[in-house]
Structure 1
Amino acid sequence: MQEVTATISRPAPEKVAERAREIFADMQADPEFSRLWDTCRKYSSDWTDYTGYPIISEYDAIADAPELFKATTRAMAIKSAVYELTDGNERAAEIPLPVPVDVMSHALTAQFTLLCRMQKRLGIQFVHMTDMEEGAGGGTWDHGDYTHQVYKAAFGDVNPRYWIGSAETERRRKILDGVYAGIGVTERGKRVSIPLATTAA
């Protein structure tokens, strides 16, 4: 049975899960997989993020990186599997992800040269296109949806620390909105009004 959402048709979760497991295993066996982890682990100091990682309770860029990387590379394997099984349907492959996992996928896809080499060696296509995401600003993933079904069938239970549902994501973001507004950061990080001018020495 296929999931059909508006004009989006995706293969049965079990079929995608089987292929995603194979792709993930191939990714892990790739000679540059460890380098991909290393580059993403070091990326945190260069990433400005107001409402992605900070929705994780007591977020720690160093301590949380390993589990986020694991969840995100698995999610990328799922996307690649959907893309392959739908004959290159980019919209179908851009499955909903929880915000922290989506943010980590930005760190992953920033390693463009390395990922291009991996794609060539593995014969797969990594997928990440912002204009194909199902909700503005992310947060459309939710418990029990298509992504969740595939992930659970392929890799087991999700880690609830990072797989935060849509309603809870919005609740936490509203808390952050209030905190940030007090220092001049509004519109969820799109507008910053903090005095930066200095007088001449």
Structure 2
Amino acid sequence: MTTTRTMPDPAAVGERAAEILNLIKGDEAYGRLSDSSKKYVDCWATFTGYPVVAQWNLEADKAALFDEAMKALSLKAAVHGLTGDESTAELLISLPVDEMTHAVLAQHNLVTALQVRIGVLLPHMTDLEEFGWEPGDYTSQCYAAAGWGNMPDRYWIGTVEARRRLAFLDQAYANVGIKGLGREHDFTFADTGGTLVAV
């Protein structure tokens, strides 16, 4: 459900987000957070986040995607710091970037300690997430105001295009027996003597 909120000025958000990202990168545990988040994708990845990236390759893409996730989290933290409102801070971001933020935030001990050290909350609540990022929107304006240059369109995929790619993926998954974008299958995992069968 979309509600109307008063959003802080993108210039103020961008300036604060750039400061937050510098604090994060300067933290003693930043290297470990980066390494751990990139390893986490081996343990958990959805069928709908990373795979919307064209010719997705975990090893080739994870470093750049981690950088984009840290920028997104810094923007969200800046909005939260300026408003004190977690709902307002739940900015629209693209699916692959959102998935990497989950991988970062799953590093619970590191993130908790980092937040305490830098005095900044990195907010994220799944129940407040909305799927709707588009180029040029509020998040994009804040990103530009932070001085980070252009959002890489490899990872910042607008909603209309993401939905088209999701429909493609849904059909591709269905062709191998995976339904509902990875939410269901009929595999029994029966021992068939080494032969793969769907049911």
TM-score above 0.5: yes
- Map 1:120-131 to 2 at 5 A: 120-131=116-127
Q: Distance in 1 between matches of 2:28 and 2:171?
A: 45
Q: Distance in 2 between matches of 1:199 and 1:181?
A: 22
Q: Which residue of 1 aligns with 2:180?
A: 187
**How many percent identity over aligned positions?**
41
Please say if 1:30 is aligned against 2:27: yes
Unaligned runs of 5+ in 1: none
Unaligned runs of 5+ in 2: 194-199
**8 Å Cα contact 1:183-1:194 kept in structure 2:** no
Tell me how many residue pairs correspond in the alignment: 191
Q: Distance in 1 between matches of 2:155 and 2:177?
A: 27
Tell me how far 1:152 sits from its aligned partner. 1.3
Do the aligned partners of residues 178 and 199 (structure 1) sit closer, same or farther apart at CA in structure 2, a change above 3 Å counting?
Answer: closer
Q: Distance in 2 between matches of 1:64 and 1:166?
A: 20
* Counterpart amino acid of residue 186 in structure 2: S
Q: Which residue of 1 aligns with 2:197?
A: none
Give per-residue Cα distances to partners, 1:45-100, cap 9 Å, x unaligned. Answer: 211321111111111101101110111101101100000100x2000000000000
Deviation beyond 4 Å, 4+ runs, structure 1: none
Q: Distance in 2 between matches of 1:126 and 1:20?
A: 11
Q: Which residue of 1 aligns with 2:196?
A: none
* Counterpart amino acid of residue 81 in structure 1: A
Q: Which residue of 2 aligns with 1:145?
A: 137
Q: Distance in 2 between matches of 1:48 and 1:127?
A: 21
**8 Å Cα contact 1:8-1:91 kept in structure 2:** no
Q: Which residue of 2 aligns with 1:98?
A: 94
Structural RMSD (CA) = 1.4
